[in-house]
Structure 1
Amino acid sequence: MALQNVWHHRRVADGSAKACWICFKPSTSVLITPDNKDFFYLCTGHLSDRGFCLPDAGEAADAAARKKKDELDREIELVKKEYEEKQRLKREKRREKGKDKDKDKDKDTKKKNEDEDIEDEKTKDDKIKELSQSKDEAAVDLGPRIYTLNKNFYQMRVDKLRNAEIARRNRERMKNPSLFPSVPSGNPS
């Protein structure tokens, strides 16, 4: 019945949310042992509390590396966006110069080209927004996934399992009729 102090963080569906073990608020985060012997629901805020649990060192380093990479990706996206904006402004200036020269020529083709450029810019902006939203949603789950509980909280989980096992054994014993003494069979003297 040795329970290891290694807990994996898992998420459940919103409909399956249950009370947090600490604060009793509905939570979709679960800490579970690798062998599935014990689990409990927990708020994500408690996972960042150093007095409650500590992330695995390797997992914490991986999470930090992922966070840095995400920040760099965001910066790269911003730089790309700025560059595209500058290019768009340059194209508009060229078109204005071209319009002054050739006002009467190809008005319809220029309008079509402008409309296509505007649509392309809108789709690019929409894609960038979708990417940033999906990265923000993924960032919520990017934290460490393996934790070790503080010794006091770990002992509470071990005691709870031990008490549940003792209660189960006692229930089984109570169902067994040989546990109770038998009625005396001889004549009283």
Structure 2
Amino acid sequence: MALPNVWHHRRVAESSAKACWICYKPSTSVMITPDSKDFFYICVGHLSDRGFCLPDAEEAAAAEARKKKEEMDREIEKVKKEYEEKQTLKREKRKEKDKGKDKDTKKQDDEEDKEDEKAKNDKIQQLSKTKDEAQADLPPRIYRLNKNFYQMRVDRMRNAELAKRNRERLKNPTLFPSVPNGDPSSSGP
């Protein structure tokens, strides 16, 4: 029954808020083990307390980096699709108007294309900067409890298991001694 000292921070709905393990105020933050064996509600303020827990930097950084990269790729693909759609619309319009155009209007169209491409690249760069800033503001999601608090959780799990085992033993009728079978008056001196 080894309980790992790795806790993931999760959020629940406001309607599911329960008392914080430390201060008993309603909280929507939950700390849960990866295997879901143990969980408890905790205030967000306690997570920043170094006496309570420490963020697991390497695991959190790796997970956040993967998530950040996936989000960034989705945003870039979205911008590229928008750009391609604009270009196809422009080409269609250009074909319609191409019959009566001169060289000056063609140059203007080329300049507009360059400006649109530049705007697309600027938007992609802006998205990457805002994503970096947003990711820096998010708190870590993986923590390790202080040894005293961790021991309290282990003790609580152990006590719960002992209580469960005792309840099962009490339900077993072979645990109790049997009633004597002989005549009590004949066996005495």
TM above 0.5, yes or no, is yes
1:26 aligns to 2:59 (yes or no)? no
Instruction: Label 1:152 to 1:9 Cα distance change in 2 as closer, same or farther (>3 A).
Output: same
Aligned residue for 1:185, secondary structure, equals coil
Asked if structure 2 preserves the Cα contact closer than 8 Å seen for 1:59 and 1:145, the reply is no
Instruction: Label 1:50 to 1:60 Cα distance change in 2 as closer, same or farther (>3 A).
Output: farther
Instruction: Label 1:64 to 1:16 Cα distance change in 2 as closer, same or farther (>3 A).
Output: closer
Equivalent residues in 2 for 1:33-48, closer than 5 Å: 33-48=33-48
Aligned residues, how many?
119
For normalisation by structure 2, the TM-score amounts to 0.58
Following TM superposition, the consecutive aligned residue runs of length 4 or more in structure 1 with deviations greater than 6 angstroms are 62-65, 138-141
Q: What does residue 76 of structure 1 align with?
A: none
Quote the Cα distance in structure 2 between the aligned partners of 1:160 and 1:52: 17
Aligned residue for 1:153, secondary structure, equals helix
Quote the Cα distance in structure 1 between the aligned partners of 2:179 and 2:170: 17
What is the CA distance between 1:2 and its match in structure 2? 0.3
Q: What does residue 8 of structure 2 align with?
A: 8
Give ranges in structure 1 of 5+ residues lacking alignment: 66-134
1:159 aligns to 2:151 (yes or no)? no
The one-letter amino acid of 2:164's match is: R
Give ranges in structure 2 of 5+ residues lacking alignment: 66-130
The one-letter amino acid of 1:159's match is: D
Residue by residue over 1:93-142, the C-alpha shift from the partner in whole angstroms, topping out at 9 and shown as x without a partner, is xxxxxxxxxxxxxxxxxxxxxxxxxxxxxxxxxxxxxxxxxx9xx77981
Quote the Cα distance in structure 2 between the aligned partners of 1:177 and 1:144: 51
Asked if structure 2 preserves the Cα contact closer than 8 Å seen for 1:8 and 1:34, the reply is yes
Aligned residue for 1:166, secondary structure, equals helix
Q: What does residue 138 of structure 2 align with?
A: 142
Instruction: Label 1:160 to 1:179 Cα distance change in 2 as closer, same or farther (>3 A).
Output: same
Equivalent residues in 2 for 1:58-97, closer than 5 Å: 58=58
Matched residues, percent identical? 81
For normalisation by structure 1, the TM-score amounts to 0.58
The one-letter amino acid of 1:32's match is: I
1:170 aligns to 2:152 (yes or no)? no
What is the CA distance between 1:187 and its match in structure 2? 2.1
Instruction: Label 1:35 to 1:14 Cα distance change in 2 as closer, same or farther (>3 A).
Output: same
The one-letter amino acid of 1:168's match is: K
What is the CA distance between 1:62 and its match in structure 2? 7.0
